[in-house]
């Protein structure tokens, strides 16, 4: 019985580690200009508009439970905080590695831009 409870505790700890994987977002600025955060709708596209200012690159890192939609939401939130109102998704969700419990880790990259009128 003691062996079963130890195995159960070990498996529970592994499950907690897998669920506690941390999704995070990196932002790499491409200008020294400081834009106000954007509070409106952030457009998602795969093409650059005719006129724009490139603010930076945003990389969302996710874990096994993160979907494409959740990674895009992470990208939009971080880009808006930097002042972007458009993100141009440059790569779909790709496997970037494995966690300690061998579940896949993902990343998605976009360019954060602000349109110019």
Read off the pLDDT of residues 54-108 as tens digits, 9 standing for 90 and up: 999 999 988 877 788 989 999 999 999 999 999 999 877 666 666 666 677 788 8
Pair of tokens at residue 96: 């970037």
Read off the pLDDT of residues 2-45 as tens digits, 9 standing for 90 and up: 656 666 665 565 555 445 456 789 999 998 888 999 999 999 99
Q: Which domain holds residue 37?
A: 21-115
Task: Give a yes or no: residue 10 inside a domain.
Answer: no
Question: By C-alpha distance, which of 66, 103, 111, 63 is closest to 84?
Answer: 111
Rounded to two decimals, the pTM is 0.76
Positions of E strands within the chain: 24-29, 43-45, 52-62, 86-98, 104-115
Task: Give a yes or no: residue 55 inside a domain.
Answer: yes
Name the DSSP class of 18: H
Strand partners of residue 52? 115
- Output the domain CATH number for residue 65: 3.30.110
Task: Give a yes or no: residue 40 inside a domain.
Answer: yes
């Amino acid at each position: 019985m003691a062996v079963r409870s130890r195995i159960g505790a070990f498996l529970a700890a592994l499950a907690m580690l897998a669920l506690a994987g941390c999704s995070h977002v990196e932002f790499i600025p491409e200008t020294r200009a400081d834009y106000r955060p954007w509070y409106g709708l952030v457009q998602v596209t795969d093409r650059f508009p005719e006129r724009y200012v490139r603010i930076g690159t945003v990389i969302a890192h996710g874990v096994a439970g993160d979907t494409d939609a959740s990674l895009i939401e992470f990208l939009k939130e971080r880009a808006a905080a930097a002042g972007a109102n458009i993100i141009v998704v440059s790569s779909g969700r790709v496997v970037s590695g494995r966690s300690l419990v061998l579940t896949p880790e993902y990343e998605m990259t976009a360019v954060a831009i602000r349109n110019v009128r």
